A and B are shown apart, each in its own frame.
Chain A
Amino acid sequence: MEKNNQHIKFVVGLGSCGIAAGAKELYEELASKMGNNCNASLSHTSCNGMCFKEPIMEVFYPDGNYLMLGNVHKKDVDKILEPLLSQGAIDEKFIIENSRQPDKKEEFRQKQHKIVLENCGIIDPDDIEPYIENGGYEAVKKVLNTMPPQQVIDEIKTSGLRGRGGAGFPTGLKWQFVRNNTGEKKYMICNADEGDPGAFMDRAVLEGDPHKVIEGLIIGGYAIGAEHGYVYVRAEYPLAIKRLKSAIKQATEKNLLGHNILNSGFSFHLKIKEGAGAFVCGEETALIASIEGDRGHPRLKPPFPAASGLWGYPTNINNVETLASIPWIIKNGAETYASYGTEKSKGTKVFSLAGKIARGGLIEVDMGVPLRDIIYTIGGGTSSGKPFKAVQLGGPSGGCVPENLLDTPVDYESISATGAIMGSGGMVVMDEDTCVVDVAKFFLTFTQNESCGKCTFCRIGTKRLLEILEKITEGRGGMADLEELEELSGKVKDLSLCGLGKTAPNPIMTTLKYFRDEYVEHIKENKCRAGVCKELIKFSVIEGSCTGCHLCYKNCPVDAITGEAKKIHHIDQKICIKCGMCYEVCKFDAILKG
């Protein structure tokens, strides 16, 4: 992508993950240290998926050589800037990839197949030009010049693309419904209200390649006959909003968006609506209510938004990832896209790897790849090196998949069969230090807090479920509670109004299914084998190992530890709040947890 061959070009990844890791400081330091060096230029891109290596910088040399460095911080600039400029030797620990060392390939990047993320971490998301140079807006041109709307829909149908927001409804069919409905106006909405804990696919796409989403929206608007569009993006993604705004502005200036796009006679006006941080607003009817200025309450369906959506007009809502797949499909053909993936789940899927995983980040793989490949080959196993326990798929609406099901291929049907859901693509990995009951409690606390409160089952049912889980984790549970959990979960799942309630019990149901013994342990033996449930564990000093270093004494926030220097210490169980601080700080493994 480097055009000017006279320069050495530095590119720093300024996605939210990079910025959080210190990439901004790195960028500023580089800028100031490089000064007016006319041999080098500095620019930025977004996250390339390797969040575990952030801050990342890339170096492009005029001779075609290339370097990718990871974990580079502001303090390292002095050390590396000179060797970089002179192509000298760099400390190996920074190097992720080096064109002169073709064998050194980051395993993380293998087995991936980037369609949605093709530009992420490569182009400058603040500038429309690199996007256009990489073939951007070709699909819009192709559609507007050569394809009637129905043909576009047929193309998407052929591609087999299914909604990436989680439910997996065929996108072409969805578009067809809206196209078939007549209305004075129609709306095309992009749902970017990504709220699952541990999911950041949509954010990365919006931050890294906003034009791709805009392009998808224009094509969708053209296909269904909508001239107005909204991007509903959560306000907690300020960078995504900023980049999206600038992208809309630039596209409008180039007449790729707005009135009479490229003189085709088709107009498409796009607005951004910032969500106020309600998880339930990711549900399409709640999202519509929120745009209308109402409280984000899901409403009864039918009528479906395709018939009566925003302001009562036919409305189509697609997820960010779905829309970002559209331009590629139009450019490369539906058959090509459909050749990837499995029979029923075509194409690729983006996942965010989080939790206790060695290589956390953003990945895109063909549908049908086994979970094991993702977690071990790409993700590199658990970060702690301890045995893998389970992976939570689909966030709070999803479920836990245990070790023995890791050969499940990632496609909509196979994942549903495990009791989890594909969801939007969040994967939270847990090792044996994670207590599944606590995990279920965590997700249920989330759904209970985020339930809109409208329907009885979701509002009160989840509260009762949570109360039972609290009882169990506090050692007050009985075996009858397990049956009650199962019964209540079934009721909440079957009878709630919207997707939030219908999927809220999934974490409980899957953990009960695969890890029932742990629940039983909590109840019968008052034991939490992962040592997480505070009420069930206690910290004590192993007298033989204690050297009396006094470190635990100093760190205990409630002064529960007594003991003089060089003498054995004691923990007063009445005062101890089980924060685990002593366990963490003890250098002699003299604190016993359990």
Chain B
Amino acid sequence: MKMIHLTIDDKSIIAPEGTNIFQAALDNNIYIPGLCYHPKLSQFGGCRLCYVEVTERKHTRHRFACAHPVSEGMVVKVNTTEVNRHRKTVMEYLLAHHELACPTCNKSGECGLQNIAHELNMSPGRFKTVRMSAPVIRDNPVLELNRNRCILCGRCVSACKEIEGVGAIDFQNRGFKTVIGTAFDRPLDCSFCGGCLAVCPTGAWQDRTLGFSGRPWEFESIPTICPYCSVGCTIVLNTKEGSVRRVVSNDKLGINEGNLCVKGRFGHEFIHSPERIKTPLIKKDGEFQPARWEDAIEMVSDKLKQIMEKHGGNVIGGIGSEKCTNEENYLFQKFCRTVLGTNCIDNISNMKAPFLNGLLYKSVERGFFTDSLKGIENANTLFFFGVDITEAIPVVGCMARKAIQLNSANVVIANPRNIIFKNTAKNDVRLTYSLGSQHILLNAIIKVIIEDKLVDLKKIESSTSNFSSLCSSVQNVSLSNAEQLSGVSLEMIRSAAKLLTKPGNCCIVYGKDVIEDPLGEDTIKTLLDLCALIDVSNHSDIHPGRASIFCSRYHNNSQGVNDMGVVPEFLPGYVDINDAANKEKIEKLWGIKFSGNIVSKNSFNLIDLAKNGNVKSLYVMGADPLTEYPNGNEIRECIKNIEFIVVQDSFMTETAKLADVVFPSSTFAEKEGTYTNTGFTTQRLNRAISPVGNAKTDWEIICDIAKKMGQSFSYREIKEITEEIKKAAPVYSGFSYDRLRRKEFHWPSLLLDKIGSNKYTFFAIRDKSLKVKGEKEFPLVLITGASMNHQGAYSAKSKALVSVAPECFVEINDKDAKDMQIKNGDMVMVESRQGKLKMRSKVTRKSPSGIVFVPDAYVNIPINMLIYQEYTPVKIYTVLDN
């Protein structure tokens, strides 16, 4: 990119060609007043404040900085008398009818308009006009719009359209009567990401969750990582007097450029929820009694010791947390493996898909993870396979839209449902496939790619080791069969294949719908084959395009818990536990000897063990298997038979209710540590407040018990744990807790040098497909998935989120609903062989006929209770409300 030299206010700066003066100044910390320009948004040019004097090609003229590109040798003056006079005029215009309500405005103190008025020393203007006094619009739980304070900079409109893809608001009317509003002034119906609020330079958009609970200058701002989904957005907690008052975003921090979803921005109220567990609880005669920490710790330690003495450590099971930090999970597995002497540990994501860790590690080794999630912004083609981006990882959707806007990226979306992903891509291909046909669909795409020579076959043949076996495996794919089974027309398959192989970067994101299919493992392997095909072919000196593949995990630290080895088959950092050398190395580090029979030869599932009575005690840290794991009823039966259960959690979950001892653990806001997101990026948490009530951080609780049980878990701070992780987990060897303050850590990048010359070996799996159908009595097939508004107990205890999305629902195809005489909004019963749950119907075309969808994110409707196999058949019928 050509660099331009220019001078702004006597400061010589360099800016890339095509940058506008405003952005160039912003990048160099030179202040130009402006209210409508925002680096994240397209230029608007409406506020007219950024007027500057520009001298170029020997002509001195006045220009608007946001609209004028830099040129070589340009001299810009930001503060001449003429320029300031102009600015004052604009401000005089803007303030003439503006509701000057600073004392009662939450924005006061961080208001762009107020700041500029102050800088320019504005006095009451010439115009004696009527101040605006339109009623404030409070038609939704989280945002309010006060049009009297709006200066029509259009930022909210652009943010809603360009970043969130929603377009819920736009300008209305013309001339002086122009206002911002929704279509036909209907109540705001959007994703409530709060993007409008974040970019608003005045007090027009307000955060209703803030109320009047603090003024901007009273807040302490602590950046930390969002505790909800697996994207790992940086949020900034605003605290006052030891409590979290609101969440704001900072465009310059983290990977999310200040973009958040409704959970991240408004779902913080759970931190101070009255339902938090505030003291340790011990169950006596079936009732929980509050207890002192010492007593609870002593009781747990005694009980565990007893069980170990009686049965050996192997009968104790441990479930780690997808929500706790890496450090806590590291300590948890160390505690289980050393103190309790059991390898019977797992986490729910691994229990659901035990093959995933191995495949992900393989894809990292192949170099399909050269960039963090942010790499999606550089994509030229986006392929979302079996993942509902908008609901599951909304901010990745924002990144994708950025790629669409900046690189004109093309979009291919394959999903069994007609998921919503609003975007402006010129090519947006949707492959809505029938359940069970995902593998054959993918094979058909590969077949088309090879047969139509959409990639450089010669190059692939020479740079992979077994291209011929891939060719022979897809040779057998019958395209017409694939078309028939998947319900996707050949024409669509062809256009998808064409888009996927376009030169440039291709980003593939797959998710729950792929992973939790019976053919999930094969599909992911084939997806890696596709990725390799594109990567090898696209990567050349002329087209430096790469293919990358991301797996959309569920929780904030679903990746980290696996990285930390809270799985039976790996020690921290995907070190094979069956390898004697590895075991020895870790024994040396930990200063212990593993008990001889710690590793069982057969891979096992904790629930299976419990079913067979082989688990006498269960230690659960920050997880709720009863609601998060399918087949909840069966698990409940298993767990009931377990002698002694310990749960660490912030809320009384279904699992905690069955526990003998419950320890109150602190939430993300009360602790330090690190999370690793779904793109393998590790980011640091910062403690914003001290623990609520008598809660303790999970790692402190573990240390206390370990110490009580006679082990030296004498960690005093997080850094000591991270230092140990560095040594234990090879993939985290380049990790530094201090450096995380400045920059996030992405462990696959460290393996880049090791991705060597060895050629890619295709899995070349023959196409498979399943027939997924309902049964006579239960004619519909149930699938579940994420929800944008909720995720577990945290969201359920956040008032704002509950008011945005108060009720769980079942999505029924409109045709099915008509057949069953169910109307939108009816109360219905969803019943499977395992049980039934009552919820609201949502009649839609999102789910195809024969399939019903229920989000698995509402804790009060634990849909996993109904599930007893992949694609559980259910029936639905209307019931009385309440």
A495 pairs with B51, CB closer than 8 A = yes
A467 pairs with B129, CB closer than 8 A = yes
8 Å CB contacts to B: which residues of A450-478? Answer: 450-457, 459-464, 467
B178 pairs with A453, CB closer than 8 A = yes
A449, B178: Cα distance in complex, Å: 10
Minimal Cβ-Cβ distance residue in B for A297: B171
8 Å CB contacts to B: which residues of A69-101? Answer: none
Given A464-B96, A464-B127, A455 and B174 touching (CB < 8 A)?
no
8 Å CB contacts to B: which residues of A112-130? Answer: none
Q: Does A295 contact B (CB under 8 A)?
A: yes
Main DSSP-derived SS at the A contact region: helix
Given A460-B176, A495-B48, A497-B45, A453 and B93 touching (CB < 8 A)?
no
CB distance from A474 to the nearest CB of B (A): 15
A462, B94: Cα distance in complex, Å: 13
8 Å CB contacts to B: which residues of A269-306? Answer: 278, 280, 295, 297, 299-300, 302
Given A455-B46, A497-B45, A460 and B96 touching (CB < 8 A)?
yes
A531, B408: Cα distance in complex, Å: 61
B94 pairs with A460, CB closer than 8 A = yes
B86 pairs with A456, CB closer than 8 A = no
A456 pairs with B94, CB closer than 8 A = yes
Choose among B44, B49, B89, B152 the residue that contacts A453 (Cβ–Cβ < 8 A). Answer: B152
Given A464-B93, A491-B89, A456 and B174 touching (CB < 8 A)?
no
Q: Does B135 contact A (CB under 8 A)?
A: no
Given A448-B175, A453-B173, A461 and B93 touching (CB < 8 A)?
yes
8 Å CB contacts to B: which residues of A431-463? Answer: 448-457, 459-463
A495 pairs with B86, CB closer than 8 A = yes
Choose among B170, B175, B426 the residue that contacts A462 (Cβ–Cβ < 8 A). Answer: B175
Annotate A309-325 by CB proximity to B: 1 below 8 A, 0 otherwise. Answer: 00110000000000000
Q: Does B47 contact A (CB under 8 A)?
A: yes
Interface residue count on the B side (C-beta < 8 Å): 34
A495, B176: Cα distance in complex, Å: 17
A456 pairs with B93, CB closer than 8 A = yes
Given A299-B45, A456-B93, A497-B45, A463 and B176 touching (CB < 8 A)?
yes
A295, B176: Cα distance in complex, Å: 16
A451 pairs with B175, CB closer than 8 A = yes
A145, B92: Cα distance in complex, Å: 61
A459 pairs with B45, CB closer than 8 A = no
Minimal Cβ-Cβ distance residue in B for A301: B67
Annotate B175-195 by CB proximity to A: 1 below 8 A, 0 otherwise. Answer: 111100000000000000000
A418, B823: Cα distance in complex, Å: 68
CB distance from B82 to the nearest CB of A (A): 12
CB distance from A236 to the nearest CB of B (A): 16
Q: Does A2 contact B (CB under 8 A)?
A: no
8 Å CB contacts to B: which residues of A490-534? Answer: 491, 495-497
Q: Does A564 contact B (CB under 8 A)?
A: no
Chain A hits for B408, CB < 8 A: 312
Minimal Cβ-Cβ distance residue in B for A480: B126
CB distance from B777 to the nearest CB of A (A): 48
B96 pairs with A456, CB closer than 8 A = no
CB distance from B155 to the nearest CB of A (A): 12
A302, B63: Cα distance in complex, Å: 13
A451, B127: Cα distance in complex, Å: 20
Minimal Cβ-Cβ distance residue in A for B151: A456
Chain B hits for A335, CB < 8 A: none
Given A456-B48, A459-B152, A450 and B89 touching (CB < 8 A)?
no
A449 pairs with B174, CB closer than 8 A = yes
A457 pairs with B48, CB closer than 8 A = yes
A455 pairs with B48, CB closer than 8 A = yes
A449, B154: Cα distance in complex, Å: 19
B43 pairs with A459, CB closer than 8 A = no
Choose among B46, B173, B174 the residue that contacts A497 (Cβ–Cβ < 8 A). Answer: B46
Q: Does B90 contact A (CB under 8 A)?
A: yes
Minimal Cβ-Cβ distance residue in A for B94: A456
CB distance from A288 to the nearest CB of B (A): 14
B174 pairs with A278, CB closer than 8 A = yes
A442, B97: Cα distance in complex, Å: 23
Minimal Cβ-Cβ distance residue in A for B173: A453
Chain B hits for A496, CB < 8 A: 48
Chain B hits for A491, CB < 8 A: 89
A456 pairs with B46, CB closer than 8 A = yes
Choose among A299, A300, A452, A495 the residue that contacts B174 (Cβ–Cβ < 8 A). Answer: A452
A451 pairs with B174, CB closer than 8 A = yes
Given A300-B67, A454-B152, A467-B129, A459 and B175 touching (CB < 8 A)?
yes
Given A299-B45, A459-B152, A461-B93, A453 and B51 touching (CB < 8 A)?
no
Q: Does A559 contact B (CB under 8 A)?
A: no
A233, B535: Cα distance in complex, Å: 48
Chain A hits for B67, CB < 8 A: 300
B46 pairs with A449, CB closer than 8 A = no
A456 pairs with B90, CB closer than 8 A = yes
B178 pairs with A459, CB closer than 8 A = yes
Q: Does A407 contact B (CB under 8 A)?
A: no
Chain A hits for B126, CB < 8 A: 484
8 Å CB contacts to A: which residues of B110-161? Answer: 126-127, 129, 151-152, 154
8 Å CB contacts to A: which residues of B52-94? Answer: 66-67, 69, 86, 89-90, 93-94
CB distance from B134 to the nearest CB of A (A): 15
Chain A hits for B66, CB < 8 A: 300
A161, B67: Cα distance in complex, Å: 31
Minimal Cβ-Cβ distance residue in B for A488: B89
Chain B hits for A448, CB < 8 A: 175-176
Annotate A328-352 by CB proximity to B: 1 below 8 A, 0 otherwise. Answer: 0000000000000000000000000
Given A299-B45, A300-B43, A464-B127, A453 and B171 touching (CB < 8 A)?
yes
B176 pairs with A454, CB closer than 8 A = no
Given A456-B94, A464-B93, A449 and B175 touching (CB < 8 A)?
yes
Given A451-B174, A454-B154, A300 and B51 touching (CB < 8 A)?
no
Chain B hits for A297, CB < 8 A: 171
Chain B hits for A312, CB < 8 A: 408
Interface centre among A300, A460, A463 (most CB of B within 10 A): A460
Minimal Cβ-Cβ distance residue in A for B42: A299
Chain A hits for B178, CB < 8 A: 451-454, 459
Chain B hits for A484, CB < 8 A: 126
A residues near B, CB below 8 A? 278, 280, 295, 297, 299-300, 302, 311-312, 448-457, 459-464, 467, 484, 491, 495-497
**What 10 A-B pairs are tightest by C-beta distance, nearest first?**
A453-B178, A463-B176, A300-B45, A460-B93, A451-B175, A300-B67, A454-B46, A456-B48, A455-B46, A448-B175
Q: What are 24 A-B residue pairs whose CB atoms fall within 8 Å in the complex?
A: A299-B43, A300-B43, A448-B175, A449-B175, A451-B174, A451-B176, A452-B174, A453-B176, A453-B178, A454-B45, A454-B46, A454-B154, A455-B46, A455-B47, A456-B90, A456-B151, A457-B90, A459-B152, A460-B96, A462-B176, A463-B175, A464-B127, A497-B45, A497-B48
